Amino acid sequence: MLTLENILVLMLLATAGAWLWHNHGLREKALERVKQHCAKLDLELLDGNVALKRIGFVRDANGRKRLARVYNFEFTVTGEQRHPGTVTQFGPHTMQIELAPYPFEIKPPPPGDNVIEMNQWREQHNRWRN
């Protein structure tokens, strides 16, 4: 026979299970957002995961404190060094992704018709001043 204590314990277990399931979904959303961010910056996400660092109150863009989840991850540029990063989420919404300073290569723009040399520009525009 079910007693009130048994029902309370079952409700607590069900609540804990639902909370864990919800957190797993939020972690997956954070992981997807970090993968997109790393791909956009031409970085490699190491280990393919994010790890929960803490759950706490963080100020949002309006300065209000809200409950947030902060996840850690690691990325690499060259494949030799690991660099840390964090992603902060308010529920399923990403607030910010922070990356530690990392070396990057400055790529010159590809040659094409849309690049104008400064000397050429000056010659074209100085002819009207004479």
Looking at the DSSP bridge assignments, the partners of residue 49 are none
Which pTM was predicted?
0.69
| pLDDT given for residue 128 in this prediction | 58
- Contact present, 94 and 88 (Cβ < 8 Å): yes
Q: What mean pLDDT do residues 47-52 have?
A: 90
* 3 state DSSP class of 112: coil
Tens digit of each residue's pLDDT (9 = 90 or more) over 60-96: 888 899 999 999 999 998 888 899 999 999 988 889 9
Q: Which residues of 105-130 are buried (b: 16+ CB within 10 A; e: fewer)?
A: eeeeeeeeeeeeeeeeeeeeeeeeee
The rounded distance, in Å, linking the Cα atoms of 95 and 33 is 11
Specify the pLDDT at position 122: 83
Q: What is the pLDDT of residue 105?
A: 74
Q: Percent of the chain scored above 70 by pLDDT?
A: 92
> Which one has a higher pLDDT value, 105 or 8?
8
